[in-house]
Amino acid sequence: MGYEDVEQYADRETFAKYSDLALRGAVSQAPDFVWCPNGCGSGQIHESGNEQPIVTCGKCSFKFCFRHQVRWHEQLTCAEYDSLVSDPENFRSRIDILNEEAEKLRLAEQLARRTQEEADRRLAQSLMAAEQREEAERQARRERAERERREEAERRRLQAERIAMQQQAEKMRMEAVRKRDEDELSRITVEKTTKPCPGCKWPIEKNAGCSHMTYAETPLI
């Protein structure tokens, strides 16, 4: 019985049903036709085929894969879904790999951050140590300058003392010279103007031409 026969003999309802069935039969042969895997009995042409494999059922809104005829495998491409099905235990999805890479990146960044923090801490410590060392050096310089100042003052004091002693000694020497010269002059004067007493040897003044003699006030040593 052909299409025309049905049209000719069947009532309107039967024809509609047959027409639908025939349509379905014909359409289901099309390469882009797909049945809804959700069991709603609907099927549809999915013109983009495997290129864009996500299909949403026009009747029940079930979202499924055109190629695999299963609920749409979220986050997996069809190739990844094939890998998952062929080795479910060892399958690592793109998302897993991305997550692993993100975790590695996070750990690497954490390590880099800690390394940087450690370097900063060491730098701060060395700066602090350098500052302390500089302060210690400044303090040592201040102390050395103060010591040198004291030593210089002491040196000048000793020099002044030595000069004063030298001046004192010079003064005493000159006084001694003067005294010696005076004594010498005095002795010469006494020698010129006196003669020893013939009796007690004390110098007595010469009274030229005069026989009278008196004792000099002081004896010669």
Q: Which is nearer to Zn ion, 6 or 67 (CB)?
A: 67
Q: Which is nearer to Zn ion, 69 or 168 (CB)?
A: 69
Q: Which is nearer to Zn ion, 60 or 153 (CB)?
A: 60
Answer yes or no whether residue 2 interacts with Zn ion by CB under 5 A.
Answer: no
- Is the CB of residue 86 less than 8 Å from the CB of residue 95? no
Q: Closest distance between Zn ion and the C-beta of residue 52, in Å?
A: 11
Q: Closest distance between Zn ion and the C-beta of residue 21, in Å?
A: 18
Site for Zn ion in 18-77 (CB under 5 A): 36, 38, 40, 42, 57, 59-60, 62, 65, 67-68
* Cβ neighbours, 10 Å, residue 34: 22
Q: Which is nearer to Zn ion, 81 or 194 (CB)?
A: 81
Q: Which is nearer to Zn ion, 119 or 196 (CB)?
A: 196
Q: Closest distance between Zn ion and the C-beta of residue 56, in Å?
A: 9
Q: Closest distance between Zn ion and the C-beta of residue 60, in Å?
A: 3
Q: Which is nearer to Zn ion, 63 or 104 (CB)?
A: 63
Beta pairing partners, 44: 34
Q: Closest distance between Zn ion and the C-beta of residue 108, in Å?
A: 34
Q: Which is nearer to Zn ion, 6 or 37 (CB)?
A: 37
Site for Zn ion in 71-90 (CB under 5 A): 78, 81
The pair phi, psi for residue 48, each rounded to 5°, is: -75, -10
| SS3 annotation, the chain | CCHHHHHHHCCHHHHHHHHHHHHHHHHHCCCCEEECCCCCCCEEECCCCCCCCEEECCCCCCEEECCCCCECCCCCCHHHHHHHHHCCCCCCCHHHHHHHHHHHHHHHHHHHHHHHHHHHHHHHHHHHHHHHHHHHHHHHHHHHHHHHHHHHHHHHHHHHHHHHHHHHHHHHHHHHHHHHHHHHHHHHHHHHHEEECCCCCCEEECCCCCCCCCECCCCCC
Site for Zn ion in 160-199 (CB under 5 A): 197, 199
Site for Zn ion in 116-155 (CB under 5 A): none
Q: What pairing do the DSSP bridges indicate for beta strands 203-205 and 194-196?
A: antiparallel
Which residue ranges make up the site for Zn ion (CB under 5 A)? Answer: 36, 38, 40, 42, 57, 59-60, 62, 65, 67-68, 78, 81, 197, 199-200
